[in-house]
Structure 1
Amino acid sequence: MTKTMKPMLLCAGALLLATGAHAGEVHVLNWKGYGADEPFATKAFEEMTGDTVVNDFFNSEQEMLTKLRTNPGLYDVVMINAAFMRQALEENLVQPIDTAKISNYGDLDPDQAASAMLNEDGKTYGVPWTWGLTTIAINDKAFDTAPTSIREMWKPEHEGRVTIRDDAVEAIQLGALATGQNINDIKDMSAVETSLTELLPNVRTFWSAENDWNQMVASNQIDLGTYWSGSAGRAKAQFNLPVSLAVPEEGAVGWLDSFAIPVGSDNVEGAEKFINYMISPEFYVEWDQTVGAPVSASRRAVAALPEDAFNRRVMGSPEIAERVQFQQPITDEQRESYLKTWQKLKVGAN
């Protein structure tokens, strides 16, 4: 947030409080270290609205769904990957959102706002927040020039120097990309299994959190691995680590994250204000420039970045967009099949 933005936010906060806005707690369920819990954001939102932000965290989408199931009424806002919204809807875990009460909603990318994954029967259940890639990130010390192929991870010179996330769906989709297949319509699972079997000897270890990846590159234990685009940006911007993103010619896995309001929320008004702030340029520019962030779903927020910002110059380029395969929902049967395959492959590698 720039110095010129702060007075504007404080004035807006005074206006909200003067009009009798509900002051209470906004309970947010999100990934730890993923924007919504940044100290600058919490401070600005609380000054603007009078609401207190209470954060809780999950380490996987399945843990997020479990927390919603087992704590009905506890959360006011939850971050949901759009590919998992179907499951949340089927279990009646989230409620429709009145987008008319979210003033920044009109700034969102129209295609993302209209996503069939976030809307049903004319009602909106998820407000697009950020999007990004699961792709290759490299240790700059290991490369003179960034690799152009995902198959770089398979090369013998990287034996014991590769890391991938221990996630069955991501692993199978990685194998699909490496074998020239659509991640949402895998025709040859045998080829995927063979490809991953060949990759595993190069894998030093699996990661589950950003800190795992960052510590490995900081201690020069890895050459490259799969990583989230926003995480790679944070590694460089916040921790000054030698990390660069590489979007290979075979493509990258795209994901769309949204904010939803759980069924039973005690502070829907506060949730609407929180979501509105999360998609504002005021929040996003500060997050991207001082911490490192994925791409905002708000066109106005991205346009507010400096012209040379990675999320404006590179991630906004048509060439990159053509390579992205956005995740679509998968069935429980597919998820179980992927998990069994992944567990079998890991056991075989030991």
Structure 2
Amino acid sequence: MKKTTAILVGLGLLLTATTAMAKDLHVLNWKGYGTDEPFATKAFEAMTGDKVVNDFFNSEQEMLTKLRTNPGLYDVVMINAAFMQQALEEKLVQPIDIKTIENYKDIDAAKATSTMLNVDGKTYGVPWTWGLTTIAINEKAFDTPPTSIKEMWNPDHKGRVTIRDDAVEAIQLGALATGQNINDIKDIDAVKTSLAALLPNIRTFWSSENDWNQMVASNQIDLGTYWSGSAGRAKTKFKLPVALAIPKEGAVGWLDTFAIPQGAKNVEGAERFIDYMLSPDFYTKWDETVGAPVSANARAVAALPADSFNRKVMGAPAVADRIQFQEPITDAQREDYLKLWQSLKVGTN
């Protein structure tokens, strides 16, 4: 009896110690974007004892604002690589000890060594996923997927097109439609003319996956710009008639990364969380049950079925040749894009 009591007391002390060491882990990300999947939260909390507390943003600018106004609150933040420079300039993130992240070694080398994420020998962003902003279609509206971005301008789709209400994405869409490099736009007037011609076809602008998916579910749109991972989720998780169409003119590529905000209180938990998010175990389940963009971890992608979209299509050389990955833009450029976009929306010059 004494021996049994001692064992129970020992287990109780161990449980108490583990509970005492467990911490909240505050994660800032888009809603419905991997980190808040119930299966992932449950698995990570079971492995570490840390409790995941999610918070969300609806735009990169909102994400930066939350970091500025809540110093020390967040432990992990998802940052588009094109916005990392701004986060660094404002000292919103801190260097990451990549030696603590086991799955880092399997990240695609070109992405891991990006100058957007590595400065003066220090790593500030861990590549997590990448994907495209391109055309997604309502399959009920097409017998075969369109091959050109110009399909969005087709008068047959008047009032049945949607694009995200984001100045940078809109300008980059106009750049693709006019045969220009999204990171080096030479003829902004051509972009303006192109977008002005598109506006009569637009039913409404979207700001969240839910907006886009609801419009398809109610058959209000034929096509529009969408994120590749979101299109996958619409098909896999919500069983909607959605398909991605990567046009001959190209697509906007983006790289999403994890960073640790300056002043984070649970850095060790953040490192464990980033490692888990990169793992093949998490990624394959995410892609299979929900729909995901492409993992930056080559081993995780290789664990997908050979005929999966993220291996067969997104990994195809012909697609890779058409991707223009976003690069940072200056505050002055962003302001110019915003002014142009707002003037187009209200019909002024």
Q: 1:25 deviation in Å?
A: 1.0
CA–CA distance in structure 1, aligned partners of residues 239 and 315 of structure 2: 24
Q: 1:21 deviation in Å?
A: 11
CA–CA distance in structure 1, aligned partners of residues 19 and 116 of structure 2: 35
1:250 aligns with 2:268: no
Partner of 2:34: 35
CA–CA distance in structure 2, aligned partners of residues 84 and 22 of structure 1: 34
Q: What does 1:94-243 align with in structure 2 at a 5 Å threshold? A: 94-243=93-242
What code does the residue aligned with 2:299 have? Answer: R
Q: 1:140 deviation in Å?
A: 0.3
Q: Tell me, what secondary structure is at the counterpart of 1:232?
A: helix
Is residue 165–residue 206 contact of structure 1 (8 Å, CA) maintained in 2? yes
When normalised by structure 1's length, the TM-score is 0.94
Partner of 1:7: none
Q: Which runs of 5+ in 1 are unaligned?
A: 1-16
CA–CA distance in structure 2, aligned partners of residues 106 and 20 of structure 1: 31
What code does the residue aligned with 1:339 have? Answer: L
Q: 1:23 deviation in Å?
A: 2.0
CA–CA distance in structure 1, aligned partners of residues 108 and 229 of structure 2: 18
Partner of 1:93: 92
CA–CA distance in structure 2, aligned partners of residues 333 and 76 of structure 1: 30
Q: In terms of Rg, which structure is larger?
A: 2
CA–CA distance in structure 2, aligned partners of residues 282 and 272 of structure 1: 17
Partner of 1:317: 316
Partner of 2:68: 69
Is residue 22–residue 270 contact of structure 1 (8 Å, CA) maintained in 2? no
Over 3 Å counting, the alpha-carbon distance change for 1:168 and 1:110 in structure 2 is same
Q: Which runs of 5+ in 2 are unaligned?
A: 1-15
When normalised by structure 2's length, the TM-score is 0.94
What code does the residue aligned with 2:170 have? Answer: A
Structure 1 residue ranges, 4+ long, deviating more than 6 angstroms after superposition: 17-21
What code does the residue aligned with 2:116 have? Answer: M
Q: Which moved more, 1:18-27 or 1:126-135?
A: 18-27
Q: What does 1:48-67 align with in structure 2 at a 5 Å threshold? A: 48-67=47-66
What code does the residue aligned with 1:67 have? Answer: K
Question: What CA RMSD, in Å, does the superposition of the two structures yield over aligned residues?
Answer: 1.4
Over 3 Å counting, the alpha-carbon distance change for 1:139 and 1:77 in structure 2 is same
Q: 1:22 deviation in Å?
A: 4.7
CA–CA distance in structure 2, aligned partners of residues 23 and 33 of structure 1: 25
CA–CA distance in structure 1, aligned partners of residues 56 and 39 of structure 2: 18
Q: Tell me, what secondary structure is at the counterpart of 2:189?
A: helix
Q: Tell me, what secondary structure is at the counterpart of 1:328?
A: coil
Over 3 Å counting, the alpha-carbon distance change for 1:60 and 1:157 in structure 2 is same
